[in-house]
Chains A and B, each alone.
Chain A
Amino acid sequence: MAYYILKGRHLEMAKKGFKIALVVATVSALSQLLSGHSSAEVVAEHQPAKLAAMEGHFEADAPADLYILGWVDKESKETTGLAVPGGLGLLLHGDPNANVSGLDAFPEDEQPSQLNAVFQFYHIMVAIGMALIGLTLFASFMWWKGKLFESKWLLKVFVLAVFLPQIANQVGWFTAEMGRQPWVVYGLLRTSDALSATVTANQVWFSLVLFTIIYIWLFGLFVYLLHRKIKHGPYKAEDLAKNGTHQQTLA
């Protein structure tokens, strides 16, 4: 919709559509705070080592900071960066001085091995979530001021913001899957024990390559067809009623 407004096409529909989308986006971006918080509580209770890795928290039983940006050094067991002191304890237990179990509370072979990756992916996800909240709130404010469609840069940001939830979704998965290692069923079954006894590494490699190719192929097709649909724009109702000439482009 932002794209159409920028290009000055289908203005009436695009403006209406943008406002509806903005309401939905603002509500859902804000509700991510709630759902994210409750997910984190579940992780803290059932997969404490994962949570510790997500926040780069090493001390076995100590108050924990909430990082906004940071870097985890696995060797020196230190996390450096910009943090809210006691923030993690505050969010989890309502008390900044509350103790949170850190990575040291778990044996070396029961911790995720890619600590910095888990930390970074998780923080990219959170950062994108916060950015979307900021963006939608700002746009809602502009709407309230009656200047929603006046700033071109805001519309341009919205065109590009299409990718952000996708990225957040992917890095969120990375966090979840890398963070729970070395377990495939947390605390019960190790990934190294969950392998099929008779499937060889080469076979797994084969399927991995096969599906990588398929998904790249699908992504290319998706972008191509979606691009055409966007360029084409909406169908006019009277055209729909009159004839079926557009049928080639509909499913």
Chain B
Amino acid sequence: METGYLLGVDFQTWWYLVIGATFTAYAILDGFDLGAGVLHLFFKKDLSRRIALNAVGPLWDGNEVWLVITGGALFAGFPIVYASAFSAFYVPFMLLLAAIIGRAISIEFRSKEPMKWWRQFWDVSYSLSSLVIIVLLGVALGNVIIGLPLNEQQEFHGELLFFLKPYPILIGLTLVGLYALHGAVFLSMKTEGRLYAKLTSMIRWSLRIFLTLFALLSLITVIFYPQFIARMEVHPWLFVVPLLVMILLVLLAKWVKKKKYPLAFAASSLIIALMMMLVFIQQFPLLLPSTNPDVAGLDIYNSASSTKTLKILLTIAAIGVPLIALYFGFVYKTFKGKVEMDETSY
């Protein structure tokens, strides 16, 4: 196939890296506010909930931008994957959209009325929709890893609820554990002191739950899906990645104990990035594997846009992504430090 090269790497691979980077950015950034959402109902007092909500208040909607960018990047660079995946996941993605809307209005409307039932309703809706979003994303990711039933035209061809399989659901639940941990560390960093006792116990619990689920997931992968670690067996140095995750988890626990929350947050962010890297390294160059043995999966070569399109896209990304990153740097700098409650608070 004809293609162009940049620094000895073909355009398709570059675009795969761009998608990997934007999706990882999404996983880290929306991860902490989704995690905070899952933990929300464990705060009992109204003031605690408001503090927790205001910690993510100015940041959550911007974080979702990275999901939009990832979807757009997939559409532009690998349109066939986009078409197959979004058709296959039609129902779960519609539910995902509904949950994203539900979450947004919960955050915005919660504190507009003082009635207890009103606030309780939006609190439950906020927490539940956060949970649904994480599980659905994890289940979708899990299905992309194990592959989709594709027909001869490489279009999805399966049952309505095909995505509800044990392995992807386990990935979804593991993601809930990881995000709860990430969210609790984030809240600790933003609310130093005020919710200390509660958050410390949350971190401890989510760490335990995540470790248990992660161990279970690893075990099942080794026994039932050895092909998912095939690349690691060929290149043993790749075991550095899961090893680093373990080291970072130990460091995270240590830093939390010493109340070095920014360091702990950096650790949980890195853990998410490394987990995403594992997936992207193992999948390469496949984007959508096929479970149908007679049909090849969709990879970055048989599903890519034209070389010219990829060139234009890479140019746009080279200008646009740093601009977005710069903007995010500005926003996070503006809202850095502890939560302060004033008349514009949620």
Q: B83 within 8 Å of A by Cβ?
A: yes
Q: A225 within 8 Å of B by Cβ?
A: yes
Give per-residue flags for B113-135: 1 if the beta carbon is below 8 A from chain A beta carbons, else 0: 11000000000000000000000
Residue of A nearest to B156 (CB): A198
Q: B326 within 8 Å of A by Cβ?
A: no
Q: Which applies to chain B's interface (DSSP): helix, strand, loop or mixed? A: helix
Partner among B88, B108, B345 whose Cβ is within 8 Å of the Cβ of A198 = B88
Q: How far is the CA of A88 from the CA of B341 in the complex (A)?
A: 60
Q: B331 within 8 Å of A by Cβ?
A: no
Q: Which applies to chain A's interface (DSSP): helix, strand, loop or mixed? A: helix
**B90: chain A residues within 8 A (beta carbon):** 196, 199, 203, 207
- Supposing A198-B157, A206-B94, A221-B105 touch, asked if A250 and B113 sit within 8 A by C-beta, the answer is no
Q: B330 within 8 Å of A by Cβ?
A: no
Q: How far is the CA of A165 from the CA of B45 in the complex (A)?
A: 43
Interface size range on B against A: 20 to 34
Contact A251 B94 (CB under 8 A): no
Contact A198 B155 (CB under 8 A): yes
Q: A192 within 8 Å of B by Cβ?
A: no
What's the tally of chain A residues with a CB closer than 8 Å to chain B? 22
Q: B112 within 8 Å of A by Cβ?
A: yes
Partner among A197, A210, A225, A251 whose Cβ is within 8 Å of the Cβ of B155 = A197
Contact A240 B94 (CB under 8 A): no
Contact B87 A199 (CB under 8 A): yes
A243 to chain B, nearest CB (A): 9
**B86: chain A residues within 8 A (beta carbon):** 196
Interface hub of A196, A203, A210, A246 (most chain B Cβ within 10 A):
A196
Q: A185 within 8 Å of B by Cβ?
A: no
Residue of A nearest to B57 (CB): A251
Residue of A nearest to B84 (CB): A198
Residue of B nearest to A196 (CB): B87
Residue of A nearest to B153 (CB): A197
- Supposing A199-B90, A206-B91, A210-B94 touch, asked if A247 and B343 sit within 8 A by C-beta, the answer is yes
Residue of B nearest to A244 (CB): B343
Q: How far is the CA of A223 from the CA of B87 in the complex (A)?
A: 35
**A240: chain B residues within 8 A (beta carbon):** 343
Q: How far is the CA of A210 from the CA of B155 in the complex (A)?
A: 25
Q: B160 within 8 Å of A by Cβ?
A: yes
**A206: chain B residues within 8 A (beta carbon):** 91, 94
Contact A203 B343 (CB under 8 A): no
**A214: chain B residues within 8 A (beta carbon):** 98, 101
Q: How far is the CA of A197 from the CA of B94 in the complex (A)?
A: 17
**A21: chain B residues within 8 A (beta carbon):** none
B130 to chain A, nearest CB (A): 17
B174 to chain A, nearest CB (A): 28
Q: B334 within 8 Å of A by Cβ?
A: no
Q: How far is the CA of A200 from the CA of B87 in the complex (A)?
A: 9
Contact B105 A251 (CB under 8 A): no
Q: B315 within 8 Å of A by Cβ?
A: no
Listed by A's residue number, 17 A-B pairs whose Cβ atoms lie within 8 Å are A198-B157, A200-B160, A203-B90, A206-B91, A206-B94, A207-B90, A211-B94, A211-B98, A221-B109, A240-B343, A247-B342, A247-B343, A248-B111, A248-B113, A249-B113, A251-B108, A251-B346
